[in-house]
Structures are given as structure tokens and as C-alpha cells.
Structure 1
Amino acid sequence: MPELLALENVRAGYGESVILDGISLDMQEGDSLALLGRNGVGKTTLLVTLMGLTELHGGAIRWCGNDISRMQTHRRAHAGLGWVPQERYMFPSLTVEEHLTVVARPGEWDLNKVYQAFPRLQERRANMGNQLSGGEQQMLAIGRALMTNPRLLLLDEPMEGLAPIIVQELARVIRRLVSDTGMSVIVVEQHARLALSLTGRAIVLDRGRVVHASDSGSLLDDRDTLDRLVAVAA
């Protein structure tokens, strides 16, 4: 399969502060990656670096073989990077349907398909984004990203603070994205075992560096290593 994304010795952070220190990784079309680690190790910083929202101090980011290290954020989105930020960023002046249609780009994912994936959004399509529950807002944030028809979907803590039944619903959608549509996905998630169950590969960060890389199944089965690296509870 052709290379989709590659990071080569990336050093990045905020202003003069370096958070990521020598990150290298690669993904092919259809790959799914769990990005794990304790709080504050650089997981979110890696995602926002992919979107061009940090200061790049060294290294290179390649997208489909082209260097995008200095590319503007909106051009990365147009090129096929879809981002679901941890904050969700709902617009109080837009309805659910307007949130979805305002960013729509041609491709497989359209309004009907998003509503099929998230029936609650269709039921609430006339509601304002800030009138939704936390779980519904997360569905809308994911649906909005899908409407851009990305080649790589970046999910930053998609399950944070949600009720178990909503977590299960979102997990089903992410599994379908990976298994049925072949969409490439990077998942940052504190629920490490859940993230590993959704993805094919995993890397663990510590102090801005990659300290472990393996397939997700192997790490999920190796409880001692997972507990040591991520401090996972039973």
C-alpha cells in the first residue's frame, strides 16, 4: 500500500518550548493507530502538529509523499486530514444540520450517511449545537469531520466524560470506519484497552518520545507492559 503519512524526527511544541522530541512514525492507507501514554506526554500535541498548529523545530511531515511541514492548517484539511479536537468546538449560532453541511466536501460521506451512523443527530438536526448533550456533541464533532471526507481521521479523546452507553455507540462507529470503509484513523484515548480494541497498531509516548511500538493486539495481551507504560487499571 502507498504511504499516507510519515513523520521523520519531528521536534515540535509551543513557542520555544519543545514537547515532541524526535517523533518518527509512518502510516499506510487504511492503517489505524492508537496513540497512548500518560497525561502530558505529547499525545494531543502530536495531533495538533499534524494539523499545523504548533511550532515545528525540526524534522519533516510527509503526506502522500509530499512535505507538508510548512503547509497551512486549512490546506491540510483540504488535503484530507480530518480532526476531531478534544474541545469539540460547537458553534452556538448553527444548527446540527448547519454544522454538518457548512464543511461538506464531495465524497462518500454525505448528510444521509452521517445520519445513518448517528441517528440521534437526525432527530436533533434543528437544534443548536450548544443545546446538545455531551455525547451528542461528540457525535456531531465526528460527523462534521466525516463530512469533509478525510483520508485520515484524528480523534482526540473521543470518549472523555461520556456515559458508557454513548462510549459503546461511538466505539461501534469507529470500528465500522476502520473495518468497513478502510478509513485511516489515529485515536488518542485514555481508555487504553478500548483504543487498542479499535485499532491495528499502537505507539506509546513518554516525555515526547516514542517508547513503544507494536500491533495493538500484542500490547493488549501484554498486561504487564501496558500497565508499566500507560499505568492502566484493571
Structure 2
Amino acid sequence: MALYLGLSVSLQAAPFLVEGFADLDNLPGWVIVNNSTAGGATPEGWFQGTSVFAAQAGSPDSYAQANFENAGDPGDISSWLLTPVLTLKPQSVLRFWTIGEDVPGFPDRLEVRLSGSGASTNVGSTPFSAGDFATLLLSINPTLDDAGYPTVWTEYSYAFSALSSPLEGRIGFRYFVPDNTVNGSTIGLDSVWIVPEPASAILLSAGLGFFFALRARSKQQREESL
């Protein structure tokens, strides 16, 4: 256990973000903004995972979900999930998993955007505005191809190596689908990691792996002693 604790202490010295969305109503620092056309059945925007998918990790509903009902019908969807304020460095790496529902004829799209304006949550006021989140990092299915969004959990990553100095701001996950009469179904987002450098991710994995190995060994020893 001493080795695990040592790893834990070293990891805590370097800030990072790990979010599995076990409880979307209690995410410290996260912000949800729904700029979609009003009148949808899910006006809150992103919401707790449902039985449409099983989560990439954790309990079946421990993921964030957005769908075509974020907007009225007809309407345009622009549903944002913003991270807490982060200090990103050239060595920082973002990793996350996403999935889309396999519904032919109703393609999905997810944008990952960056704001360097500190704690700002300004995403504009219309479905097509981005406010302070003007920098597009990734776009999954940018041209809304019918089979362009993954229908199994798929990992994506972005390295901030182009930064010349540390940047304080937020990352925004944007479910962005115009005209939900011909586009949009359902997507899920899970297992978001933001680490200050690749080495931190390796140490985190090693520390957690060692902890779970010790827990399994302790359980086995208790069972053998009965």
C-alpha cells in the first residue's frame, strides 16, 4: 500500500481532471448551456445517461448524453458541456470517449472547442454562436455524414503542443446539429481525462492499477481465511 500512496501523493502535486459522469447533477465546476431552439423535450441540454447506451466505464448510466430533443421541432441544436477552469500547458493532453446511436438518416456531430478566457462560460446566445469558445480543437463528423459518427465507444485525443505558454480557460463539448428534422439522434460522452503531461497519465494508470490489484488480493486473502 505504501507504493500506491506514494504514487497518489506525486499525482496530487500535478493538477489533472478525470470525469466519468456518475452524477451529472453534481459535477463541481462543470457548466451546461443549451443554446438550441427552444421547445425541446430535453431542454436541459446534456443529461444523465439512459439505457440507450451502456457507459464506456462504470455503472451503465454513468455517462453524459445529449439528443435531438435538446431543441424544439423543427429546430437547431447547440448544447454545450463545459469543463471546470483548467490551466493547460504545451504538454497537456485531452482524452475522451464518445458514441452515437445507429439511426440511418439522422447523423450526429460533436465539436470540442477551447476558450482561453479564464472562467468565462460565454458561448453566445444563438444555436450558431460560439462566444469565447472560438477555437475549434476537434469536430467528429463535421459534414454530418450519415455514417460519420462512431456507433461503438471510441476514444479521441487532442494534444495541446501548439500552445506557446500556459493558458487558463475551459474546454467545451458541443452537440451541434442544425435542423433536427433531418439531422440528429443521440450521443454519449464518457471518461474525460485532461492530464498536464503524458507521464502523469502513465503514473495515474500505474497507481490505480496497483490499488485495484491490492484490493483484489486483500479480498482473496479474506475469502481464504474463512
**Is the TM value for this pair above 0.5?**
no
Higher relative contact order (CA 8 A, sep 6+): 2
Q: In proportion to residue count, which structure has more helix?
A: 1
Larger radius of gyration: 2
